[in-house]
Amino acid sequence: MERHLRRLSIIGTLGMMLVLLMGATVTDTGSGEGCGRSWPLCRGTFLPASVRESVIEFSHRAITGVLGIVILLLAIGAVKARHAYPGLLPLVPIMVGALLLQSGMGAWAVKYPQSSAVLALHFGFSLVAVAGVFLVMRVIDDQQNRGQVIRSPAPRHLAIIFWVSAITVYGVAYSGAYIKHANAEDACRTWPLCDGQVWPGFSGNDGVVFAHRLAALGSIALIGGMAWLAHRSRAQRPDLVNLTFLAMLVVVCQAIVGAIVVQTNMQLFSTLLHAGLMAVLFLILCEGCRVTLSERSRADTRKATRSDAPLTSATAD
């Protein structure tokens, strides 16, 4: 049972990452209306016409449908294995709910045109869906590999900065998706300055791109501070040092690729790499949130158990 559950979680994680990149491809190639206003069919037929936009859009729908079956099987298995893996149960509604929201929003956008702010949420829900499946995989791996080893709870300030960093990165991802849907790619055509300006302001498309860059800079600062705090607590939690430095490496690569996206005039490979690195960074931070939260919950439970023990003994006497 556990072996099949782990395989499903791996397939689901890789598959949902593929769905995220395919969704980014749909947006980057302008294929959102490749199937017209028809959903779930493509222009009223099961097989799309041999037009690039139609093939890209329908392939995205088809892969999402297949992954929906995988996620459903994984959710059923997670519910059945909830006693062996108690950490799985809270992830099931996140995993399934995000996938349903992502698919529903995609169908809604096809049938009824939406604003750029709403369309950008599609990428955000994709991130949450990938994270949900990934965390299911990590819970299974963690439970199988750790045995009876109990790690010390992470310092509270380190746990908090993990959550703040994850929320910030999610905001950066949303603003990046908004730039694409708002057709603001032609703004701020130089990097790191915005068309030679240090402070272009927040009006118009230049302001949208400038706000995205400021948010990205803020995420780098947060993750850098998180890595420093983890290094200070390395004796207590050496595993978090590796996690935070991996996040620091990815966010720096993300910034470099962001500059390449500008220099290559939004070339498809660079934009997909940018989206992929954003997803990887978000997954790393979500794993940090999971680990710090679960370990602190276990520590609080053990503390409560110890404090109740003398009271129970006294009552018995």
The four Cα atoms 303, 239, 149, 137 give a dihedral, to 10 degrees, of: 100
Task: Give residues with Cβ within 8 angstroms of 188, minimum separation 6.
Answer: 194, 195, 200, 206, 209, 210, 213, 262
Cα–Cα–Cα angle for 226, 227, 233, rounded to 5 degrees: 90
CA 44, 47, 52, 53 torsion: positive or negative? positive
CA distance 251 to 257: 10
Q: Is 33 a catalytic residue?
A: no
Count Cβ atoms within 10 A of the Cβ of residue 3 and give its class: 0-12 exposed, 13-18 middle, 19 or more buried. exposed
Residues 12 and 133: their CA atoms lie apart, in Å, by 6
Catalytic residue, candidates 2, 53, 57, 295? 57
Rg (CA), the chain: 22
Q: Which amino acid is at 181?
A: H
Residue from 74, 70, 72 nearest 85 by CA: 74
Q: Would you say 286 and 13 are in contact if contact means Cβ atoms under 8 Å apart?
A: no
Helix or strand or coil: residue 38? coil
Q: For residue 56, which amino acid is it?
A: I
Distance between CA atoms of residues 37 and 43, nearest Å: 7
**Closest C-alpha among 122, 252, 253, 220 to residue 176:** 122
- Which residues are annotated as catalytic? 57
